[in-house]
Copies of this chain bind each other. A is one copy, B any other.
Amino acid sequence: MTRARWTSETTPLPPHALAWLSRRVGLGEPFAEVPLTAPESALSADAFTALEAVCTVSADAQDRLARTGGLSYLDLLRHRGHGTPAVPDAVVQPASPDEVVEVLKICVEHDVAVVPYGGGTSVVGGVEALRGTKSAVVALDLAGLGSLVSVDPVSRVAVLQAGVTGPEAERLLGEHGFTLGHVPQSFERATIGGFAATRSAGQASSGYGRFEDMVESVRVATPVGEWVVGTAPASAAGPDLKQLVLGSEGLFGVITEVSVRVRPKPYGPRYEGFVVDGWEAGVDLVRTLAQDGVPADVTRLSDVDETEVALELAGAKAANVKRYLRLRGIKQPCLVILGWECRSRSATMSALSGKKVVRLGRAMGAAWVHGRFNGPRQRDALLDAGVCVETLETATHWSRVSELRDEVRSALARELGDPVIMCHISHAYETGASLYFTVLVPRDLEDPVGQWERAKVAASDAISRLGTITHHHAVGRDHQPWLEHEIGSIGLDVLRAVKAQLDPTGILNPGKLL
C-alpha cells in the first residue's frame, strides 16, 4: 500500500543556486538523512483483526514509516536524527465512506487513536501520529477514497472523495470540461479531504476563492455516526455548520466526500510578470486590484529581497532584466505575477494603465508557473547543503500589512542573526492580504531544533499581535500556542464542546488544534 514520501521526489539545486546560497546565506555542514526505524506496533491483535474484517490494514514497518510525520522543517530534522518521529502502529486503508464509519467504531471500541492521512503534506505537525492517552494509534490513509462521485453540469457542482489528490481532481473533472482551480503549493500530493480539513488556499485564490469558498457540502464520518452538512448554495437555517467541519483538522470526524463548485476549464490561461518600484507601491497596486474587483486569478507580489533572489536564480537572463529595470528607473524592484484563468485580463490590465508598472511579459509568468511546486521539493537539497529553511504565513488587513511584515522580519533577524527573509503576498482580499515568508539561514550545528523553535516563537508572537496565526497552513501542533490569543478561551471551549459531542472518547487526531 506504500505511497512515496514527498522528500523522495526531491529536486537538486542547480549550480548557480548553490553558488548564490554559498555567497549570501553560507553553506553549513552536509546533513544526511538517518534511516528511520519503526518501533514494534502497539496495536492489539484484537483491534488488528477487527479492522482487517472491514478493510486493508498493515502493520508493516515500511507502510508505517511512509506515513510518519509531515513536511515541516522539524519533520525533516526528525528524519535526520534530531527528535523522534511518531510512527503509527498501523495503517488502515478503507475503500468507502461506510468503511471509514466502521473503522471509527472499531477504534472507539478498542480505544485506538486515529490520525486521518491524505497526502501527508502538513507543515504544522497536523499528521503526526500522536496517540494521546490511547494505547495505540493508526494512520487512516484515505487513498482508497479516490473517486469522482458525481457531476451536476448545470449547477456546476461535483462530488469528490476525500482521497483524490490535486492533479487527480483536475484530471477527473477535466473529463467533464471542468476545473476546481485549487492549486496550493502542495497540489501534487495533497488531497481534497486535506484541503477541506485545513481551509487550504490555492495560488489562484484571488480568482477561484479559498477552498472553503468552493465547498457546497461535506460528508463526515464521526464516532457518533455519519453527518452530511450543507444543502444549498446559501442558507439561513441556523449557523453554517459546514464551516465548523472545514478547518477541523480531523478532530471532529473524518471527511469522506466533499461537494464542490467547479468552473469551466480555462481556455488558454495566461501568466505574466511585472515589476513595481518598492514594496509599498506593490501593496497599493495589489490592494487596488482587489478592492476594484479586478484582481487576476493569480495575484502575487514579492518584496525586494524575494525579487532579488528570484532574479538571481533565473540565472543568465537576470542581468538583462536588471539592466532593463534600471533603464526604466526602477530602484527597488518588486516582482508581481498576474495569472488569468477564469477572470478578465482586460479588466485587470485597464486598472494597471497609468500606474508605474514595468511589464516583463509572459516568459517571467511561464518561469513562475514552471517553478510553482519546486519549493517543497528543494527543501531536502537545502538541508543537504546545511541550510535551515522554513516558511511562515499569515493574513491581515491592508492597513497592517507593512507593519506586520516589518515586525516579523525584525523578530527573525533578532533570533537568527543575518537570515535571508523573503516575503510575498499571494492572496489578495478586499479587506486585506496574506503574507508568506521564506527564511534561509545556516543551520545551527549543535541545536538545529532549538534554533528554529526560538525563531518560530518570536515570529509567531509578532504575527499573532497583528494578524492571524495561520492563513492557510492550519494549526496542527505547531500553531497551538497562539490559538487562544486568536479565538479566545471561549473559542477554545466551544471547540472542546463540539469535540466532546462528536468524538466523546477522544480517538480523533489527539494533540492537534486544541
Contact = CB atoms under 8 A, between A and B. Distances in A.
Interface stretch (A95-103, A355-363, A390-398, A439-447): A390-398
13 contacts: A154-B287, A155-B399, A155-B400, A216-B397, A227-B491, A229-B488, A232-B395, A233-B429, A237-B247, A237-B486, A241-B494, A263-B430, A497-B497
Contacts of A307: none
Nearest to A399: B154
Contacts of A490: 222, 224-225, 227, 502
A126 to B, nearest CB: 10
Interface in A259-276: 261, 263
A299 interface: no
Interface string A219-247: 00010110111011111111111011111
Contact of A238 (B347, B475, B500): B475
Contacts of A431: 155-157, 216, 233, 261
A405 interface: no
Contact of A156 (B155, B430, B493, B500): B430
Contact of A395 (B229, B234, B240): B234
A319 interface: no
Interface stretch (A47-55, A130-138, A193-201): A193-201
Contacts of A157: 397, 431
A503 to B, nearest CB: 12
Given A154-B399, A157-B431, A291-B156, A236 B201 contact: yes
Which one of A157, A229, A231 has the greatest number of beta carbons of chain B within 10 Å? Answer: A231
Given A397-B157, A490-B222, A239 B243 contact: yes
Interface in A29-54: none
Contact of A236 (B152, B228, B472): B472
A119 B418 CA distance: 58
Interface centre among A198, A224, A236, A399 (most CB of B within 10 A): A236
Interface stretch (A61-69, A309-317, A378-386, A462-470): A462-470
Using C-beta atoms within 8 Å of the partner chain, give the interface range for chain A. 35 or more
A468 B235 contact: yes
- Top 8 nearest A-B pairs (CB, nearest first) are A243-B243, A155-B397, A233-B432, A232-B468, A497-B501, A233-B429, A235-B468, A199-B236
A479 interface: yes
Interface of A: 152, 154-157, 198-201, 210, 212, 216, 222, 224-225, 227-229, 231-241, 243-249, 261, 263, 287, 291, 293, 342-344, 347, 394-400, 427, 429-434, 467-475, 479, 483, 486-488, 490-491, 493-498, 500-502, 513
Contacts of A397: 152, 154-155, 157, 216, 232-233
B244 A248 contact: no
Given A156-B291, A212-B240, 12 more contacts: A157-B397, A228-B488, A234-B432, A235-B486, A237-B247, A237-B474, A237-B486, A239-B244, A239-B245, A241-B494, A244-B494, A497-B497
